[in-house]
Amino acid sequence: MVHSKTGSLLPVAGPAETPYLFVRGLPSAPHFDPELMKRITLFALTNIAVLVVISIVVRALGLDRWISAHGMSYTGLMVMSMVIGFSGSLFSLLISKWMAIRAYSIELIKTPSNSTEQWLVQTVREQSEKAGIPMPDVGVYDSPEANAFATGRSRKSALVAVSSGLLHQMRQREVEGVLAHEVAHIANGDMVTMTLLQGVLNTFVIFFSRVIGLLVDSFLQGNRRDEEGRSSGTGIGFFIGSLVAQIFLGLLASLVVMAYSRRREFAADAMAARIEGRDAMVGALQRLKMIHEGGGVLDDRSASLAAFKISHNYGNWFASHPPLDDRIRALQQTV
């Protein structure tokens, strides 16, 4: 039975209680989603903008003629970079909900069978209405970590999942803060924004790593030319140079993605405070801090979802979440 907002921890399955009886379910059948079409259009426009930026930079530096002179199609390289850079990110977004359900064996609550399930669904419904978004699916996954995450390709096809460990270790009011945080991620469109950012950075990484590979290969080959005065083709220097450059540029891109992710967490915290109340969000973060300081468990079955959890590794430049103390301080300083 669910206790009062200031009471003890939420009930969970255990020897002395009635086990959860979740209805196993899958995402609803595909249907026309106007919002998804808007997102795809946004992807297309972003692709065009990226190509324009790369084209301006490359032509201003004279790299287009230099690339062609070294036996590689400048236009072909741009198109390849864009396709590879965005296709992986877009595909990951489209199957994110499906993958999350399977990676974490999430039990979707289609028909609540006890008071806790009813409370979870009702809370997310009320918060979604306050945020102005459609009701997302709600599910629970079996894990000792105290965590939750939101995923899905759009606001109309989203999922909020909480761990059994979170229900074990948090009070009801604290869980409400966590749920509001995840609803805020959906309302802010963070999943799509992260995908766009990753796709843009992937395109730049792939394109400029190949350019660097050509520079390395050109240096190693010297001035060897064919009878028409063109480069004799790429050698091992191109592949090694491209690989090393892609790893290095990829790390730099990760810094940008993680910096945005940390900033996005502050925004989700602030919106959650408006939806559910600052006390709920602050209480949730304080409880998470206590759990982490006590040696809390981290469940990384799907690393791609780490940035969408309420809490993950933090405290360095490659962290997806800012330190809990900073998040708590930011909320407490909010008027």
Residues with catalytic annotation? 182
Nearest to 75 by CA among 207, 235, 179, 267: 207
- The count of other CB atoms within 10 Å of the CB of residue 256 is 14
DSSP 70: T
Residue 96 tokens, joined: 């994110």
Query: How far is residue 195 CA from its own chain's centroid?
Result: 7
Alpha-carbon gap, residue 186 to 272, rounded angstroms: 11
Residue in 130, 87, 149 with CA at minimum distance from that of residue 303: 149
- State CA 124 to chain mean position distance: 20
d(CA 13, CA 168): 9
Give me the helix-helix angle, 74-94 and 190-221, nearest 10°: 150
